[in-house]
Amino acid sequence: MTAPDVRRLVTDALDRIARAEGPAAVRSLEAELLGRRSQLATLRSGLGALAPEARKEAGRELNAARARVEEALATRRAEVDEAERRSRLEAERLDLTEVVPTRRRGHLHLVTQARDRLEDVFVGMGYTVAEGPEAESDWYNFEALNFPADHPARAMYDTLYLELGAPESTLLRTHTSPVQVRVMEATQPPIYSVMPGRCYRQDTADASHLPNFHQIEGLVVDRHITLGDLAGTLDAFTEAYFGPGFRSRLRPSYFPFTEPSAEFDITCVFCKGDGCRTCGRTGWLELGGCGMVHPNVFRAVGYDPETWSGFAFGFGIDRMVIMRHGIDDLRELVSNDVRFLRQF
């Protein structure tokens, strides 16, 4: 064995070490290059056959060769270990930014929020919440509410009829009052209920009308209920929903299903009662209708009007929303413009 042989052996070894990929390859290369059956080991065991001087020389050379191979292996091992660690981290990596939204989250529509709050206010006053269908029969929407066929008050409601059954027998409810009838049919007094929901009228949408809008109906039936109970309830509601300083008042009106009937006004939200253009300088804004339940309505559901008395009210949720938030056009609520919706 000559010195150039050892050098070639080292050069080959270093070359293979440099190309080894992965910790396992480095480990097996280490066994092959430095193990008991390696060329270096074989050369070392041949040293004994040399003359002392030559043995010393060759021994030094073999030691140096072994040291270089060991060093190269150590360096390569560190490199492949680091590469493997990186690829493992890469595989385990969780991109948390993926689930952190960069945009705002959505939320309930303004009208739904208002409906929920209204329900909460009444539930807080001891009321239950009931619902009824949007497609109604003439009986529930009109007849049972003391609007006989051809009653002129039917003209107050621009009814949308459905082509179902006999002509004009099925319609999209024009108010939530038919749910009063359904609640009374299903239960016995005392009743303290609110009934929110969608209503439909043949109206062209403008700043203060929508053909599809929302009402919340209220119905109380018990013994000895008076108009004073109605006025007090509406006043308590007004303050709970709009805040301290807001009052309500009743103005005489007409509905076939209540007697006496009234319009229900609240302190103008824009001028707080001083009088402005929006409230026609009166200081009041109209919120809905109300009154004492008509005896004919009690008769229609089989209640004895001599035993029971009650009041009902119904107001527009959409209108209440725009009043509460100072929005000047009802159509904003259905424009589906996120720049508008996002503000609430």
Among 132, 178, 283, 289, interactor with ligand PHE by CB under 6 A? 289
Choose the stretch contacting ligand PHE; rule: CB under 6 A; options: 134-142, 238-246, 284-292, 318-326. 284-292
Asked if 222 and 189 touch (Cβ cutoff 8 Å), the reply is yes
What distances in angstroms separate CA 184 from CA 37, 125, 155, 164, 310, one per listed residue?
100, 20, 25, 26, 11
Among 132, 256, 288, 310, interactor with ligand PHE by CB under 6 A? 288
The smaller minimum CB distance to ligand PHE, of residues 76 and 175, is found at 175
Give the separation between CA 187 and CA 210, rounded to whole angstroms: 33
Asked if 288 and 320 touch (Cβ cutoff 8 Å), the reply is no
Least separation, in Å, of the C-beta of 290 and ligand PHE? 5
Among 189, 314, 322, 323, interactor with ligand PHE by CB under 6 A? 314
Our finding on whether 294 is near ligand PHE (CB under 6 A) is no
Least separation, in Å, of the C-beta of 331 and ligand PHE? 20
Least separation, in Å, of the C-beta of 271 and ligand PHE? 26
Our finding on whether 196 is near ligand PHE (CB under 6 A) is no
Q: Phi/psi class of residue 165: alpha, beta or left (left: φ > 0; alpha: ψ in -120 to 50)?
A: left
Q: Which of 196, 195, 201 is nearest to 180 (CA)?
A: 195
Choose the stretch contacting ligand PHE; rule: CB under 6 A; options: 19-27, 159-167, 309-317, 319-327. 309-317
The smaller minimum CB distance to ligand PHE, of residues 217 and 318, is found at 217
Our finding on whether 290 is near ligand PHE (CB under 6 A) is yes
Least separation, in Å, of the C-beta of 291 and ligand PHE? 5
How many residues touch ligand PHE (CB under 6 A)? 12
The smaller minimum CB distance to ligand PHE, of residues 248 and 258, is found at 258
Least separation, in Å, of the C-beta of 98 and ligand PHE? 49
Among 38, 159, 177, 309, interactor with ligand PHE by CB under 6 A? 177
Other residues' Cβ atoms within 10 Å of the Cβ of residue 181: 22
Our finding on whether 118 is near ligand PHE (CB under 6 A) is no
Among 255, 298, 303, 308, interactor with ligand PHE by CB under 6 A? 255
Amino acid at 163: E
Among 300, 312, 317, 333, interactor with ligand PHE by CB under 6 A? 312
Least separation, in Å, of the C-beta of 206 and ligand PHE? 18
Query: Where in 208-247 is the site for ligand PHE (CB under 6 A)?
Result: 217
Least separation, in Å, of the C-beta of 261 and ligand PHE? 6
Choose the stretch contacting ligand PHE; rule: CB under 6 A; options: 42-50, 186-194, 273-281, 307-315. 307-315
Give the separation between CA 336 and CA 342, rounded to whole angstroms: 10
Least separation, in Å, of the C-beta of 153 and ligand PHE? 10
Our finding on whether 291 is near ligand PHE (CB under 6 A) is yes
Give the separation between CA 212 and CA 175, rounded to whole angstroms: 10
Please give the residue ranges that form the binding site for ligand PHE (CB under 6 A): 175, 177, 217, 255, 258, 288-291, 312-314
